[in-house]
């Protein structure tokens, strides 16, 4: 099959790879219809990897059709259309069965496309381990673009907002307005926020946030403007959706006393400076971590079906998988207002 391989920093190659195959009786093989490039894929693209590895298929957001099942698969069959959530679990331990794959007891690789341990989905096909558990039948009334956003981006935004303790009438700040940050703005309003400040360097992204009802700000002025607008109280809840040292510091800076800061931007720096004094003095609650994607579906699918969340609006580019290297370069450069990049094999 053809697939996108991570070769070296800023080098993605469209090339032949071995066809996915059943390796365990619980596996399924999915033919990919559409896959997405996530902001966290850019960390790999830039060379910031969890393992010293190359030549693996990248990507962790996909929808497609089941084409083969292992003999122990009972819920799915060939021909079923499925979502493949980014987060992966064994599907058998107590934590997975409770919906928290991040605490999987059996040391399953927790996300596709991070290394050769579990190949990614930016390809013509992929193997899904524990297919009955790790693939989800396509919900009724969900479009392909909505489905792609459900595989990672929207659940991560929702998870970030839930972790930020957003309450009705609250003041929320979202730092970073990529697709996840913009969906966090949308989610904050659904959760009852009265005021949402949205911070980003890119004017086009701030304009989208404004259209959602947020007060859009540039980073350099944000803290002062928020302080004036809140009579010094600052934010009750902050969602950080970038992961850079300076954006995490800004998230802490705009948080008020006893506020909650939710960090969903990926940062792999083991020696990052951190504003601990401010955290301590203001009594902040900090939460961070990866999202257990499928665990959010019970709340998100009805909100999409009812039109209260519209994640498809952030899909700006659809390109063939064969132009994957070009797509990564464009996504990385934020060219032409690019927000969400979809690839079609």
DSSP string, 84-104: E-SB---SSSHHHHTT-GGG-
Q: CB of 102 within 8 A of CB of 116? A: no
User: CB neighbours of 313 closer than 8 A, spacing ≥ 6?
Assistant: none
Task: Indicate whether this model's pTM tops 0.85.
Answer: yes
User: CB neighbours of 63 closer than 8 A, spacing ≥ 6?
Assistant: 32, 33, 34, 35, 81, 82, 83, 84, 138, 144, 147, 148, 151
Q: CB of 238 within 8 A of CB of 184? A: no
Can you read off the two tokens belonging to residue 304? 């999409």
Report pLDDT for 109. 67
Would you call 121 helix, strand, or coil by DSSP? coil
Q: CB of 303 within 8 A of CB of 190? A: yes
Q: CB of 309 within 8 A of CB of 184? A: no
Would you call 286 helix, strand, or coil by DSSP? strand
Report pLDDT for 171. 98
Q: Which residues pair with 16 in a beta bridge?
A: 2
Q: CB of 85 within 8 A of CB of 294? A: yes
Q: CB of 61 within 8 A of CB of 136? A: no
Give the separation between CA 172 and CA 320, rounded to whole angstroms: 38
Give the separation between CA 198 and CA 309, rounded to whole angstroms: 18
Helix ranges (H only) for the chain are 41-45, 94-97, 131-134, 144-150, 153-163, 179-190, 203-211, 219-229, 245-253, 276-282, 297-305, 324-333
Cα–Cα distances in Å, from 333 out to 4, 110, 148, 337, 338? 19, 28, 22, 10, 9
**pLDDT tens digits in sequence order for the chain, 345 residues long:** 999 999 999 999 999 999 999 999 999 999 999 999 998 899 899 988 767 789 999 999 999 999 999 999 999 999 999 999 999 999 999 999 888 888 899 877 679 999 999 999 999 999 999 999 999 999 999 999 999 999 999 999 999 999 999 999 999 999 999 999 999 999 999 999 999 999 999 999 999 999 999 999 999 999 999 999 999 999 999 999 999 999 999 999 999 999 999 999 987 777 788 888 999 999 999 999 889 999 999 999 999 999 999 999 999 999 999 999 999 999 999 877 899 999 999
CA atoms within 13 A on the CB side of 108: 25
């Amino acid at each position: 099959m053809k697939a996108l391989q991570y070769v070296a920093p800023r080098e993605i190659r469209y090339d032949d790879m071995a066809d996915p195959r059943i390796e365990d009786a619980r596996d399924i093989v999915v033919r990919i219809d559409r896959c997405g490039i996530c902001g966290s894929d850019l960390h790999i693209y830039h060379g910031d990897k969890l393992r010293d590895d190359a030549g693996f298929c990248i990507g962790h957001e996909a929808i497609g059709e089941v084409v083969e099942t292992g003999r122990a698969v009972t819920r799915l069959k060939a021909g079923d259309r499925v979502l493949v959530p980014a987060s992966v679990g064994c599907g058998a331990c107590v934590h997975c069965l409770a919906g928290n794959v991040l605490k999987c007891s059996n040391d399953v690789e927790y996300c596709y496309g991070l290394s050769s341990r579990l190949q990614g989905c930016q390809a013509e096909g992929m193997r899904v381990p524990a297919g009955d558990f790790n693939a989800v039948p396509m919900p009724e009334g969900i479009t392909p673009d909505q489905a792609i956003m459900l595989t990672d981006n929207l659940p991560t935004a929702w998870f970030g907002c839930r972790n930020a303790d957003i309450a009705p009438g609250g003041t929320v700040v979202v730092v970073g307005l990529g697709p996840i940050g913009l969906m966090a703005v949308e989610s904050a309003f659904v959760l009852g926020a009265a005021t949402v400040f949205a911070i980003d360097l890119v004017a086009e992204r701030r304009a989208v946030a404004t259209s959602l009802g947020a007060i859009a700000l540039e980073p350099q002025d944000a803290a002062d403007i928020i302080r004036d607008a809140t009579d010094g109280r600052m934010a009750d809840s902050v969602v950080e959706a970038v992961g850079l040292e300076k954006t995490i510091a800004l998230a802490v800076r705009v948080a008020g006393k006893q506020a909650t800061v939710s960090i969903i931007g990926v940062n792999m720096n083991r020696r990052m400076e951190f504003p601990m004094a401010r955290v301590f003095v203001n009594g902040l609650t900090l939460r961070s971590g990866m999202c257990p994607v499928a665990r959010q579906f019970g709340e998100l699918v009805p909100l999409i079906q009812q039109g209260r969340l519209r994640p498809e609006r952030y899909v700006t580019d659809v390109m063939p998988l064969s132009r994957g290297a070009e797509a990564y370069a464009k996504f990385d450069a934020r060219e032409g207002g690019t927000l969400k990049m979809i690839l079609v094999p």
